[in-house]
Amino acid sequence: MKKTKKTILVPTDFLQVSRYALQHAVNVAQVVNEGITLLHVVKLQSEVGEAKAKLAMLAQETNEKYGLKPDSVVALGDIATEIARVSAAFDVSMVIMGSESIKGKDALTETRTLKVITSSQVPFVTIQEPPINKRYDEIVFPIDFTVENKEKHGWISYFSDYYVSRFHLIKPNISDPELIAKVDLNMASAIKHLDDKGAKYEIYTVAGEKPYAQEVLEMAVNIRADLIVIMTTKIAKSSKFVLEPHEQYIIGFAGHIPVMSINPR
């Protein structure tokens, strides 16, 4: 049975970083007026009862602290598969998940988090630390040369509707004329969406002295960004997605800044 109101899905393993994710989700839910659904995935049927009890306790604690009581789901199976299934069944707007395993990693190839992100049909926000700000008002949009990059521009409307957001468009420092042309097309698309919404924005080009991902993160820290938005890349003639190495680096080293990953349609 589908819920009529959109909800934010928070997978939890009951560790501290999962509680950080729940704090982030509460902040978003209070702004966009959506519910929260807690999800815990178990491997054995015998673990279901204990998981339900823990989720009920966590939901009650959340209600007492924030005045918002999440729904709870216990699922049996693989976490990536169950996040995708629950996301469809509960009309999930985004997944917010804490992950200790991604912290400080250049590549996420062997991590469960990478599998979950690239299996999700809804935006996936990864966090490593508790929220500093309650709102997504300073948002970093790296602008690269991929075709998929344009799709995240639709989220400009979402953030503009709910937040007083200023967008920071960061271009790579490149010399290849063909790649420059593709970046310029993506930049033009972003600017059109921004202008249509009357949104504030700044445009930057990295110095090109370090890897692009590293310079994006350094700029995000200096900007005091509340969120970084990236796109996965669709594998040709496939329904699968990948995170490019520079995007994996951004997720791994983002620290206190949440990263939203969006799979292209």
Q: What is the 3-state secondary structure (H, E, C) of 56-87?
A: HHHHHHHHHHHCCCCEEEEEECCHHHHHHHHH
Task: Say what the alpha-carbon torsion angle 27, 32, 35, 37 is, to the nearest 10 degrees.
Answer: -60
> Is position 187 within any domain?
yes
pLDDT at residue 110, as a whole number: 65
* Residues 142 and 251 placed together within one structural domain of the fold: yes
Torsion sign over Cα 64, 65, 67, 68: negative
Q: For the chain, give the number of residues.
A: 265
pLDDT at residue 1, as a whole number: 34
Task: Say what the alpha-carbon torsion angle 168, 94, 35, 252 is, to the nearest 10 degrees.
Answer: -70
212 pLDDT higher than 60: yes
Could you say which of 98, 124, 149 is where a domain stops? 98
> Is position 111 within any domain?
no
238 pLDDT higher than 80: no
CATH number of the structural domain spanning residue 226:
3.40.50.620
pLDDT at residue 118, as a whole number: 80
Residue 160 CA to residue 138 CA, distance in Å, equals 11
Of residues 110 and 181, the one with the higher pLDDT is 181
pLDDT, one tens digit per residue, over 73-90 is: 999 999 888 998 999 899
Residue 135 CA to residue 14 CA, distance in Å, equals 24
pLDDT at residue 2, as a whole number: 41
pTM of the model: 0.90
- Terminal C-alpha separation, the chain: 25
* Residues 159 and 243 placed together within one structural domain of the fold: yes
107 pLDDT higher than 70: no
Total domains present in the chain: 2
* Residues 50 and 142 placed together within one structural domain of the fold: no
4 pLDDT higher than 60: no
The two tokens of residue 170 are 């960061």
Asked whether the beta carbons of 116 and 78 are under 8 A apart, the reply is no
Segment 116-122 mean pLDDT:
81
pLDDT at residue 101, as a whole number: 67
Domain housing 234: 138-262
